[in-house]
Structure 1
């Protein structure tokens, strides 16, 4: 067994140098400052005690540093996964109850087990079934639901709901109970964070700060909001005035936590755990690959499954919640100069120190501050222009995207993502079940062949060249039969038919039977069936069948070779593009 394959730590640790350590430490300090308010906020978003977010930001980071392949990905609680966690747990327990917390721990463990198993089985390719429009629509809708769910904390009112309709109805019914001091602090924090995100960087640059320093300061602005509002709440006694505070947070490192062994609960959470794992994996890999490409590094998707699986197992066994790679933190980690996954391990040390030292102060942190932090953070997830771009390019993809958005907003995150995946697979099957094909002819004076509908080409009445632009499998095998028979019917003088196969990467058993049927029907009709440009792996499989020995014609290396063998110069009138 190649240990470096399953322990990427062994790839970079032997060459680890002081210069890299210094860069990683600087990045870790910055990410730690950013991660503390985020981990608290996302735990509350999931309906969990604040310390659960901190616990999920210690051991998972260390384990990902050992098993993950990204040099700069920052693992921890994220908004979308927090929302999915709350949605998965809502049917089985009330937020804040011991059963709810136990469910979150179990979700992390189950997700970790599923991801690790998928990685060992090299199933990273399964993430490709989540099309980009579906993921984009799901994340946009999730961002809207998350932002809406935090309005109650800004207003200081009671609220509930896991979709936009429930949340809206709840807010409307309690709007008259708006708490003035909470609204004032929440709105002020929100405006400050919006200003920091939109104008602070340019203001700092004009003041003489470097672009990098200004960018880092902008991204860590939430910690300033946390510090100021916490001091205000403590100094002014805002808790006594009715402002909701995080409250007492247990001090100390997380303890070993064992998940529930109740089979009924495992069954109830199985689908949610799978969706959390897969969606988290797709989001994480997308971020990791983008950052890796900038440094000409690469990610191993199968090993990433193992890395994220280990991180989630670590979160579960240390009393945390499900985790994945976060976009904003990873970008900050990258921009701050992180060189290796050790930066994540250093960040874990920083979070661990926070759980030992800062928990008394965290008790005075206003919940409305965390709500404002979440709203500004998830604003970057909302991508309405993607709807317009997708509509212009592909109406079917737009339909899948819109369905995902509508169901996520109006029903649940599970319904949205499951419908999106189902539609994506359905669209793929529909498109490939009717593969594009074209009758091609020779471009005069060349060895190139083009669609007779688009170009002036040479053709023959007795020889037809049909280019198949899709792999052949069970869903489109019958369609190919119909296409060939229609072509033969339209050309009564046809003696030879060449299937041009440069885009055929696979011929499955159903398609093989269809080819055998086509060959038999062509032979009965007095037409010889030929193949050209068959790829090596496809030809290797065909050699193990009887198709080639029974083929009425030949297998040509190129279409031009077939042209020279089958078409006589006297049969080459020009055909204009229609």
Structure 2
């Protein structure tokens, strides 16, 4: 290995390059493996690929060779040549070794334009127009992410395009969870079951009991929406005063610090109005988070139920629960 004078200025030059290589290898290799696994309905384990690439790059570092990457162009060439097993990789290794030993002289005179055209033709075959059209029709936001990423890769560079795709995907994810399509689960007397209705129709699932269906994880971006909708539902005047508000928490897999603080404040505001806050379908992981944030102590250990039906049955056996039944207007979507 060459002797290197390690210094902070040298590290400042190397770290950005190393990080860019890491991002490109991670994103390109995972995307290539996933794409071809889906194409041939094969099983795909990213962890196995990452371990293999890590070991290969470790060997490359000690031997002074190029970094190892799951190259989309090389994969397309092998696939186009009919390679379907590791025999293709071994054959490629043998051919590369023969070229390095005996054909480097003739290849030295090969124009760069010829090499570029080979890579270009392989890349053109990887452009999936039908796939882009399908994304445009089915998921418009994801289409724009894919299009902007492709343009950035062509105009600026691969690593910049990958980083842009990561940022845009995260923003799109936050956008989806920021204003969730929440609803109310109400009683359906005609079919002796339940149905979902809009928040604008806050119908009680049982006298004095309202079921609120929240459809996302609870975090800083949508904590305000949760509090706003819950408190607005608590202020609705119905034929039967609201005594208990149940949150259908099947879709809530995580609660961050800001959302936990919001839940504490919301619980106190509801308690001041004589309304209990309970949760149905809270997963064990969610219960652990509630314990860690101290929410279980605030809500009470008996505020968690395994199902919405269990909440309704428990509420019907409350001694001083209201007996009047609110009207049940038609409309809505069936809920389980």
Task: Specify if TM > 0.5.
Answer: yes
Task: Kindly indicate whether the alpha-carbon contact (under 8 Å) linking 1:529 and 1:554 is maintained by their aligned counterparts in 2.
Answer: yes
Q: Residue 505 of structure 1 contacts residue 538 of structure 1 at CA under 8 Å; is this kept in 2?
A: yes
Aligned length in residues: 319
Q: What are the equivalent positions in structure 2 for 1:168-317 lying under 5 Å apart?
A: 261=6, 263-289=8-34, 294=40, 297-299=43-45, 301-317=46-62
Aligned equivalent of 2:247, options 494, 499, 507: 499
Q: Which residue of 1 aligns with 2:83?
A: 336
- State the 1:561 CA deviation: 1.8
Shift of 1:441: 1.6
Q: 1:392 corresponds to which residue?
A: 137
Matched residues in 1 for 2:299 and 2:138: separation?
41
Shift of 1:376: 0.8
C-alpha distance in 2, partners of 1:258/1:312?
20
Correspondence for 2:183: 438
Residue 327 of structure 2 is aligned to residue 573 of structure 1: yes
Query: RMSD of the TM alignment (CA)?
Result: 3.5
Alignment of 1:555 onto 2:301: no
**Gap change, CA 1:297 and 1:406, over 3 Å in 2:** closer
SS at 1:482's partner residue? helix
Q: By how many angstroms is 1:345 displaced?
A: 5.0
- 1:523 matched to 2:271: yes
Structure 1 residue 448 displacement after superposition: 5.7
SS state at 2:279 partner? strand
> For residues 124-160 of structure 1, what are the alpha-carbon distances to aligned partners after superposition, in whole Å with 9 as ceiling and x for unaligned?
xxxxxxxxxxxxxxxxxxxxxxxxxxxxxxxxxxxxx
- 1:430 Cα deviation (Å)? 2.8
Structure 1 residues 461, 481: CA separation in 2 closer, same or farther (over 3 Å shift)?
A: same
Query: What residue is the counterpart of 2:319 in the other structure?
Result: none
* 8 Å CA contact 2:180, 2:215 repeated in 1: yes
* Cα shift at 1:518: 1.4
- Matched with 1:375 is 120
Output the TM-score relative to the length of structure 2.
0.78
- Is the CA contact 2:207–2:324 (under 8 Å) kept in the aligned structure 1? no
Q: Closer, same or farther in 2 for the Cα pair 1:540/1:282, shift >3 Å?
A: same
Distance in structure 2 (CA, Å) of the matches to 1:280 and 1:446: 55
Whether the aligned pair in 1 keeps the contact of 2:206 and 2:312 (CA below 8 Å) is: no
Deviation of the 1:276 alpha carbon? 3.1
Deviations 1:358-401 (A, max 9, x none): 22332343434323212211102333445443343334334433
Query: For the Cα contact (< 8 Å) 1:452–1:576, is it kept in 2?
Result: no
Residues 297 and 409 from structure 1, CA distance in 2 versus in 1: closer, same or farther, beyond 3 angstroms? closer
Give the structure 1 partner of residue 209 of structure 2. Answer: 463
CA contact (8 A) 2:73 2:119 kept: no
Alpha-carbon distance in 2 for matches of 1:447, 1:288: 49
Contact 1:530 1:551 in 2 (8 A): yes
Instruction: Report if aligned partners of 2:27, 2:162 keep a CA contact under 8 Å in 1.
Output: no
For 1:257 and 1:350, the matched residues in 2 are separated by 29
From the superposition, tell whether residues 269 and 420 of structure 1 become closer, same or farther in structure 2 (CA, over 3 Å): farther
CA drift at 1:258: 7.2
Give the structure 2 partner of residue 70 of structure 1. none
Moved over 6 A (4+): 256-260
Matches of 1:286 and 1:420, distance apart in 2: 12
- Cα 1:397–1:260 shift into 2, 3 Å: farther
Give the direction of change, closer, same or farther, for the CA distance of 1:414–1:557 in structure 2 (3 Å limit): closer
Asked if the contact 1:408–1:414 (Cα under 8 Å) also holds between the matched residues in 2, the reply is: yes
For residues 402-421 of structure 1, the aligned pairs below 5 Å read: 402-421=147-166
| Correspondence 1:533 to 2:278 | no
| Deviations, residues 152-194 of structure 1 (Å, cap 9, x unaligned) | xxxxxxxxxxxxxxxxxxxxxxxxxxxxxxxxxxxxxxxxxxx
Stretch of structure 1 that moved more, 514-523 or 366-375: 366-375
In structure 2, the residue corresponding to 1:529 is in which secondary structure? Answer: strand
Residues 408 and 540 (structure 1), Cα distance of their counterparts in 2 relative to 1, 3 Å cut: closer
Q: 1:447 to 1:323 in 2, by over 3 A?
A: farther
Contact 2:248–2:279, Cα closer than 8 Å, also in 1: yes
Residue 500 of structure 1: how far off its partner (Å)? 0.8
Superposed displacement of residue 279, structure 1 = 2.8
Structure 1 residues 350 and 416, CA, compared in 2 at 3 Å: closer, same or farther?
closer
1:473 is aligned, of 219, 227, 244, to: 219
Once the two structures are TM-superposed, the CA of residue 336 in structure 1 deviates from its matched residue by 3.5
Higher RCO (C-alpha under 8 Å, 6+ residues apart): 1
